[in-house]
Amino acid sequence: MRQNNTPYKIHANCTVCNADKRTLDEKITANCAICKQEFEADTVCENNHYVCHTCRQKAAREEIIHHCLTRGHTDPYRLMLELMKLPSVAMHGPEHHLLLTASLLTAFCSVKGRSDLALLLEEANNRSFQVPGGACGNWGICGAAIGAGIFSSLVSKSSPYAKDEWKLSGQLTARCADSISRQGGPRCCKRDTFTAFLDAADFCNKQFETDFMIPESIECPFYVNNKECKGKNCRFFCN
């Protein structure tokens, strides 16, 4: 699969009015335009809206779910790229803990003819929302790996009391976590999601008899947004 590796600039638009955000010279005290709680803010939009991290993440997750339900897809890789380019999805953020899961669930339901995608996405959102941002460095496991395990547990109907299904979910999470950790830091939500996807799609093809297309190589177009990008030391760097 040949990819278009043109760099993709992520625009940090306001969740409330879609205006451009700007970084302040000094932090200010501001009330979130959505939840109304008070925070220290270092960014506001051109119309002076501030949106807290929790509300921003919720908005991104809602857009991810809406896109999956309205677009549908049999190709989880292409869907994953579409979700990464949604206006509310940041370069880094815990919405990525749902993003991979949602891509796989949508494609899985499409190819299997399942009609319960909305319920699966809702449950995936509930479970992945419990994984905080920064879990990769603070817990020692990336939320993308956990998201892959959530996918497996949902489609196999696993539970703490299951046998083979419990095993499969643990194996997939461990495989993704190992691949992600081998790359070393610093954090990159796009790199880790790409890595987990390659493991999860291969696992799904073998264990759940799907035929998901897996690209021979992935060329990341998002590196221009990442000030901590590892450049040529990242397997997905394409410049």
Confidence of residue 15 (pLDDT cuts 50, 70, 90): confident
Q: What is the mean pLDDT of residues 159-182?
A: 96
pLDDT of 18 reads 86
Which tops the pLDDT comparison, 203 or 22? Answer: 203
User: Percent of the chain beyond pLDDT 90?
Assistant: 84
Which tops the pLDDT comparison, 22 or 181? Answer: 181
In the predicted model, is pLDDT for residue 3 greater than 80?
no
H runs (alpha helix) in the chain: 53-71, 76-84, 96-112, 117-128, 135-138, 143-155, 164-182, 189-207
Is the pTM of the predicted complex or chain greater than 0.85?
A: yes
Nearest to 177 by CA among 237, 102, 100, 233: 100
Exposure class string for 45-70: b at 16+ Cβ within 10 A, else e: beeebbbbebbbbbbbbebbbebbee
Reading the block at residue 96, the tokens are 């990525």
The 10s digit of each residue's pLDDT in 206-215 is: 999 999 999 9
